[in-house]
Amino acid sequence: MRLKLILLAAVLAGAAAFADAQQPCEKLISIAAPGLQITSAVSVAAGPFTLPNAAPGAQPHVLPAFCRVAGVVTPEVRFELWMPKHWNKKLLAVGNGGLAGSISFGAMVDPLLRGYATSSTDTGHVGASTDGAWAQGHYERVFDFADRSIHVMAEADKVVIQSYYGTQPEHSYFYGCSQGGHEALIEAQRYPNDFDGIIAGDPANYWTRHYIGAHLWIALALEGDGYIPGSKIPLISDAVNNACDALDGIKDGVLADPRRCHFDPVSLLCQTSETSTCLTSAQVDAVKKIWTGPRTAEGDQIYPGLLPGGEAGPGGWARWMAGNGPGTGLHSRLGLPFFKYIVFEDPDWDFKTFRFERQGRFDSDIDFTDRKLGAIFNATDPNLTAFNARHGKLIQYHGWSDPDISPLNSINYYKSVVKLIGGNSVHGIAETKDFYRLFMVPGMQHCGGGPGASIFDMVEPLEQWVEHGVSPDKIIASHATNRNVDRTRPLCPFPQEAKWKGTGSTDDASNFTCALPDFR
């Protein structure tokens, strides 16, 4: 709460440099534009504000005065746009998680405190982020979710902003993680004129293969005897750290680059009967499958596996793999609705029937999924020429300890862009760095948390890059225990990593430098 008050004071102190509204908020209800309907326009006074989707008893946020606009873009893309009374002349739209279905009110708070106009959409349907029933028989909802919703929201935002402030934003930005990271890369690839700067966190951009090769694959690996209860996850995490933590020269509970780690979980195999201090053969096999990912019979990688390290903690394997029992981890709860309602359009579909291989004259279900949905869902096009040509800037980041989306997926996409530009040459890397940088975050789980330094601000570096030409050569991240910062580290543009200088505290970012690793 104290931080929010400080930010609010800073906004108000700098109000003289900001733009003010040119008409009352309530008059925006009468905006007329093709395909756009404003359903509500209400002035909100400065002070405590309880988010519409807040849990019972949640503390309100202290916000500056703003105009709260709600609207719908045909056919069903609902959005909200919050415009501060004293505006910094910029727009920062925010993304979603999971299968969306609701407006990300919580993510709109920080942009508003910074003086931005900020917006979010439910992506064209209403439902829980693990619900897919909305999709069956509604292709337009699927298309809006997969491709169109952020684009039409951005267009609507600018219509409303023009009407309220009498001018367009000087700069427009988008920030999303997970599904929001997927939305971010959809924007950069397909709608390059919407935003000047984009932040794509832990993106689910290779959507069909992620749902096949992570959600479904892991749900199958944990089926039956392969299920790993939450009580055994610290066992795996501790064994990985004991084997690999010091490989980066620092023993700190964080693997700087887990690709160096070749820990074999067979060392945890129970020698006699099962106990809490060992894994059964089925559980060992499940861990191996999770780390290696699925391959075809010919040995081709269908989708990269997760990487060892950072399994423990509330945001780690306990949430994504174990859940509250078999079939309740997020991989099952997120993945299976997609296949039931969007891929096969059958609520009774059995995930154990999925065909990873071609059977006689029948294609594999991988081919079927890619053919049916890949064109609208997969944001894997490396051609960012149009975005670069208008001087757009893209920052992508990914946690090395992400238990949901493989960090190798982000590396693969980055390398594909470099290859298209210059065939992996020095020229290709240099040209890519001019507009697109990837930051890998050691020890960070999915979109945050984990043992690493995973608290950072990507917005300010993006602003500096877009508005002043100052490229982000490093970004300082921190780790906190009980809200007290106990470690800082630099995040470095891939393929560089943070290297300790050999002197000074390893908990102080100033004692590190960004350099190419010995291992690549």
* pLDDT tier, 398 (very low <50, low <70, confident <90, very high otherwise): very high
Above 70 in pLDDT, residue 97?
yes
Above 50 in pLDDT, residue 4?
no
pLDDT tens track for 358-377: 876 678 999 999 999 999 99
- Top pLDDT among 517 and 80 is at 80
Average pLDDT over residues 337-354: 97
The per-residue pLDDT for 358 is: 86
Average pLDDT over residues 181-208: 98
The per-residue pLDDT for 13 is: 39
pLDDT tens track for 476-507: 999 999 999 999 999 999 999 999 999 999 99
Instruction: Mark whether 454 is an active-site residue.
Output: no
- Top pLDDT among 362 and 33 is at 33
Contact criterion met (CB below 8 Å) for 512 and 489: yes
Catalytically annotated residue among 144, 252, 402, 404:
402
- Top pLDDT among 430 and 100 is at 100
Average pLDDT, the chain: 94
Above 50 in pLDDT, residue 1?
no
Compute CA distances 75 → 35, 37, 72, 141, 378, whole Å.
Answer: 8, 10, 8, 9, 23
Instruction: Mark whether 402 is an active-site residue.
Output: yes
* pLDDT tier, 424 (very low <50, low <70, confident <90, very high otherwise): low
Above 80 in pLDDT, residue 92?
yes
Catalytically annotated residue among 102, 119, 163, 178:
178
Distance CA 441, CA 397 (A): 7
Average pLDDT over residues 401-419: 97
pTM recorded for the entire structure: 0.94
The per-residue pLDDT for 17 is: 62
| Long-range contacts at 486-493 (CB < 8 A, ≥ 24 apart) | 487/252, 487/453, 488/453, 489/442, 489/452, 489/453, 490/514, 491/397, 491/439, 491/440, 491/441, 491/453, 491/456, 492/439, 493/433, 493/437, 493/438, 493/439
Domain ranges in the chain? 1-169, 209-376
Above 70 in pLDDT, residue 9?
no
Q: State percent of the chain over pLDDT 70.
A: 95
The per-residue pLDDT for 90 is: 98
Instruction: List all residues 6 or more positions away from 278 whose beta carbon is below 8 Å from its beta carbon.
Output: 235, 268, 269, 270, 271
Instruction: Mark whether 364 is an active-site residue.
Output: no
* pLDDT tier, 429 (very low <50, low <70, confident <90, very high otherwise): confident
Above 90 in pLDDT, residue 518?
no
pLDDT tens track for 209-268: 999 999 999 999 999 999 999 999 999 999 999 999 999 999 999 999 999 999 999 999
Catalytically annotated residue among 61, 125, 182, 446:
446
- What burial class does residue 192 get, using C-beta atoms within 10 Å of its C-beta: 0-12 exposed, 13-18 middle, 19+ buried? middle
